[in-house]
Amino acid sequence: MTAYDGSAAAEGGAGPPKDGERVRRWRPGRFGAAVSVLLAAVLLFPGLVPNARFRAGSLVETFLPWLGVLAVLLLLVGLARRSPLAVGAALVPVAAWLLLFAPLVAGGVSGDGARLSVVQHNVSDENPDPVGTAQALAAPGPDLIAVEELTEKAAPSYRRALREAYPHHVAYGTVALWSRYPLLADEPVDLRPAGVDENWRRGLRTTVRTPHGDVAVYVVHLPSLRITSQGMRTQRRDESARLLGARLERERAGRVLVVGDLNGTLDDRGLAPVTGRTGRPQGGFAFSWPERFPLARIDHVLGRSVSVVGVRTLPATGSDHLPLLARVDLRGG
């Protein structure tokens, strides 16, 4: 071993690293690697994030696809630092994200085997242009149009704009459905959380008699959630989801659609009573809220014993949500 005599430093060399310098050199790579592994774990197993306080689990699950941005940032930082450890570790959450969400990147509406088209929209109770909104919803020529936040004042405008192409109509409270096909056995669905009075009416069930057979259709609007300094408040939304899930459990129709503003994403564990009894739609992120910069899809068309084979958003209306267009294969799910 060659002894160090200081000549390298005297000649302008760096000399051997001191202990503090050595720590500074390896710590960033190891720290980035640890963050990358943790991020991959959250992506693959979001249920590990506790939900007891602040609803942190639901918050993470609501914006789960956006964790891909953090994965890419970790990869870029690793490349900038030229750290093989950090780069290799950052590829793990990138791969996890691709595994989960790559099928959605090429999303859109598929027409293969689709026999029913559905438009879903929270039209907003502050929408200044109900006629224009109704025309926009009818423009793609869907078979069904489901809306939420329909006010008594705006309802006549929607009825006049849609009655020619959609002669079959049912409404209950602030939710409504227009259909090209006959509607049978309409009934309200009570989704009220505890402490909410009977004027809160946000659920209905009907049967659509299509040329390919009957389909039970639920149009629902679950309570809003709020993000506050104390975390995300989802208790009422979760309670309504449990009520809807129990109603779906009792549903005996062979084919079922659940259409509406669920105020949560498909990954949110608070909606498990509903999503656990329906299939997952194919294709497309279709972020529907908020309208100006969509961050999440909280509006949904879900099916049981049918396949929702494509979902995409439509152009903005006067609402703070974007409309969705979904195509449904009635042959099975």
The predicted-structure confidence for 189-212, as pLDDT tens digits, reads as follows 999 999 999 899 999 999 999 999
Mean pLDDT of 19-34: 66
Token pair in block for residue 331: 């042959």
- Looking at 3.30.365.10, 3.40.50.2300, 3.60.10.10, 3.40.50.300, the CATH number of the domain 116-329 comes to 3.60.10.10
Q: How confident is the model at residue 227 (pLDDT cuts 50, 70, 90)?
A: confident
In this predicted structure, what is the pLDDT of residue 21? Answer: 53
Domain ranges of the chain: 7-105, 116-329
pTM for this prediction: 0.87
In this predicted structure, what is the pLDDT of residue 8? Answer: 46
Q: Are 38 and 92 in contact (CB under 8 A)?
A: no
CA 214 – CA 226 distance, rounded (Å): 37
pLDDT reading at 4 higher than 90: no
pLDDT reading at 71 higher than 70: yes
Mean pLDDT of 141-162: 98
Bridge-based pairing state of the strands 168-172 and 175-179: antiparallel
pLDDT reading at 116 higher than 50: yes
* Residues 231-264: b if buried by 16+ CB within 10 A, e if exposed: ebbbebbbbbbbbbbebbeeeeeebbbbbbbbbb
